[in-house]
Structure 1
Amino acid sequence: MPRSSRTTRRARPAAALVAALATAAALTTGAVTAPSATATGAPHVVQLGDSYSAGNGTGSYEERSCYRSPDNYGSQVAASIGATFTDVACSGGVVADMLEPRELGDASTRTATYTIDPARHPDQKAEWQRRAQTARLCGVPAQPDFSYTYTFVAGVGVGSLYTGTVSCQLVTRPQVDAVTPDTDYVFLTIGGNDIGFSTIVVNCLTLRDPSSCRQSLEAASVKAPEMVDRTKEALRAVVARSGGHAQVYLLSYPFLIDTESYAIPEVAPVYDAGAALNDLQRLGDDLQARGIAELNAEDATTQYHFVDTVKAAWGGRVHGLDPHLVADSSRAWLVPVGTPGRDVAEFVHPTQPGWDATAGALRVAVTG
């Protein structure tokens, strides 16, 4: 479940999987009352996490590195409570990205020639590098938390002309950097990419290979407890950055498929991938709910919340994908794999009705 950042100080109207799917496709809770505006202004919301928070699937994006959308659930809820909103959620996000910088995509190279007098600048390379950065040779980052890392690749000077090449790597700041003592609410989904949801989608829903599907799901189950431990560590850091002030809402993911049981391969079934996938999603919810309860118990607080009503807001499995080879996903609120006109990073992510349903579940959790 790419990565990006949007920061806006106005509310905007209007829920972990990413795409290892390209190759595969080619092959086949406690509620609190929203605070009113104070002398310092409206309450402030910060959105962290992965693609189920950023906006993949909405079809409207501010950029396509993180796929942040003005129509994601956080933007909607912020608007409904009169809050300002900062979005640093990013497609492909994992727990580590909350605390560490992340590289977005592959590095690209840029070449330029500048007139650099060797008499005035004996170190032409250093002067070339300075000018390249001043001129923003790598480009202008699309989001406030984006920047480019410049790495010198090669250069040659001929008299006063110096031609150099740099490698440009787009980077996001740690998501937690967006949290300040002014932050009242933090919304996020996280964990799906840490346990390999993209691989699960590829093996269980696209390739439908029983052996690799079973391996992916079993590996995810083993990774899940550690993922929750890392999430707890990150959420502690989030609350610390807020000065102990922010209310944190961790949201569950919707069910991915519309049935409790579906066996693969369909021609000669040997493995119930549907039952195993649903069991994994329930395990994830149970572990995350337990983690949130443990965080609250540590400090005798109630500021951590697990929004486990997302699946109910989606009608249970009603709006999941039909996993069969001949599928009817007409009721799905997820983008089916291979949908024409959609980016790979949008596959198996909520369409706008899904984002709206997730927003509804969170709105109830926040406002009571």
Structure 2
Amino acid sequence: MRWAVLLAGLALAATGCEGGQAADGDLDLPDPVVETEVTTDIDYVALGDSFSAGPFIGTMRTDPTGCARSRDNYPAFLADWLDVASYTDVSCSAATTADLYERMLMFDGKTTRPQLDALSADTDLVTLGIGGNDFGIYDSLIRCQDGRLSTCPVAELEADARKVAGRVEQAVRRIGQRAPDADVYVVGYPDILPTEGTCAAVGASEEVLGPVTRVAGLLNRSLERGAAAAGATYVDMEAVSKGHDVCAKGRAWVNGPRFRAGIAAPFHPKINGMRAVAAEVFEQVTGDEPEVTDYAEPDPDAIVLNQP
């Protein structure tokens, strides 16, 4: 893709022409400056689960309501910073890789279309963040850290985490069939739990957390293998999120076990975590650092509403 050419337009600014002579000959007034909004011609589609959708971060979008999709999730920040021509976000909380191809039953009892239906031959950029809900992996990990190691099916979870690689590979290949000219970025999961030690926000011993974090790491390695096998770029959020888990207090990118309306769902990214993901993807796409904003404000004309 011609990212350097597309993004170079963002630096353009309209300037006034050479000043003209006033009628009375006394004043040399500049011609009026015409401001032109410059955007890239990137058509962007975001696919994924709740770690892309951002449940309960700020204001939820209503297209559809049942996906609990935030206006300040990382796809929204990325669309804003890239100044895309079009932006379609069909990420949906609780989605699995199967929901890329089939209608999904949402939290409100309604269904939404397969996520891959958002793709077309015009799509230039795709982000995909999915896999943690397959086989109930993340739900099991949360239950494990709430209980005892003896009741946690570690071997089964490790086997399931490895299976995700094939599902991600298949997903990327099918994305390529729908959007043959698109660059695809598979986005990994950030650290949720500490890799060393523990804290009150976790409520589990180091003995329990060790196997839990090992399974989470295996899941990310599966996403990386699946992406590589199908020719996509992997965005390693595990590496950059170290030291930003639930035990990091003010530096935490993820919420703890308590539901906090307007902040995040339990054990899900907060708005600062979403900004961090968007920044990492932006750097992968452009090779540059973004001008980070507090909130996501993609051009309203570029947002494609995603009715079920």
When the two structures are superposed, what TM-score results if normalisation uses the length of structure 1? Answer: 0.62
Contact map agreement 1:188 1:249 (CA 8 A) in 2:
yes
| Residue correspondence of structure 1 range 130-141 to structure 2 within 5 A | none
Change (3 A) 1:34 1:180: farther
Q: CA RMSD in A?
A: 2.9
Residue 192 of structure 2 is aligned to residue 256 of structure 1: yes
Change (3 A) 1:267 1:45: closer
AA matched with 1:208: G
Shift of 1:260: 2.1
Shift of 1:339: 4.1
| Matched residue, 1:348 | 267
For the residue of structure 2 that corresponds to 1:93, the secondary structure is: coil
Deviating beyond 6 angstroms after TM superposition, the runs of 4 or more aligned structure 1 residues are: 266-269
Where structure 2 has 5 or more consecutive residues not aligned to the other structure, the ranges are 10-39, 288-308
Deviations 1:92-151 (A, max 9, x none): 0100000111122364xxxxxxxxxxxxxxxxxxxxxxxxxxxxxxxxxxxxxxxxxxxx
For the residue of structure 1 that corresponds to 2:72, the secondary structure is: coil
| Residue correspondence of structure 1 range 65-84 to structure 2 within 5 A | 65-83=66-84, 84=86
Contact map agreement 2:163 2:222 (CA 8 A) in 1:
no
Q: How many residues align?
A: 251
Deviations 1:48-71 (A, max 9, x none): 010011122522211341111221
| Matched residue, 1:305 | 233
Q: Distance in 2 between matches of 1:218 and 1:275?
A: 13
| Residue correspondence of structure 1 range 219-234 to structure 2 within 5 A | 219-234=156-171
Shift of 1:341: 4.3
Q: Distance in 1 between matches of 2:139 and 2:45?
A: 26
Shift of 1:87: 0.4
Deviations 1:308-367 (A, max 9, x none): 1x23433x1x12113xxxxx7443221211245469x81111111111111111110110
Contact map agreement 1:339 1:347 (CA 8 A) in 2:
yes
Change (3 A) 1:261 1:87: same
Contact map agreement 1:320 1:332 (CA 8 A) in 2:
yes
Name the one with the larger helix percent. 2
When the two structures are superposed, what TM-score results if normalisation uses the length of structure 2? Answer: 0.73
For the residue of structure 1 that corresponds to 2:66, the secondary structure is: coil
| Residue correspondence of structure 1 range 283-362 to structure 2 within 5 A | 283-296=218-231, 304-308=232-236, 310-314=237-241, 316=242, 318-322=243-247, 329-339=249-259, 341=261, 346-362=265-281
| Matched residue, 2:141 | 200
Q: Distance in 2 between matches of 1:272 and 1:32?
A: 49
Change (3 A) 1:289 1:202: same
| Matched residue, 1:24 | none
AA matched with 1:319: H
Change (3 A) 1:187 1:340: closer
AA matched with 2:83: G
AA matched with 1:182: D
Name the one with the larger strand percent. 1
Contact map agreement 1:57 1:335 (CA 8 A) in 2:
no
Deviations 1:34-87 (A, max 9, x none): 55289xx72110000100111225222113411112211112112222212100
Shift of 1:261: 4.4
Contact map agreement 1:319 1:332 (CA 8 A) in 2:
yes
Where structure 1 has 5 or more consecutive residues not aligned to the other structure, the ranges are 1-30, 108-169, 297-303, 323-327
Change (3 A) 1:293 1:181: same
| Matched residue, 1:146 | none
Shift of 1:203: 2.8
Change (3 A) 1:77 1:289: same
Q: Distance in 1 between matches of 2:193 and 2:116?
A: 32
Contact map agreement 2:253 2:272 (CA 8 A) in 1:
yes
Choose the corresponding residue for 2:148, options 209, 212, 215: 209
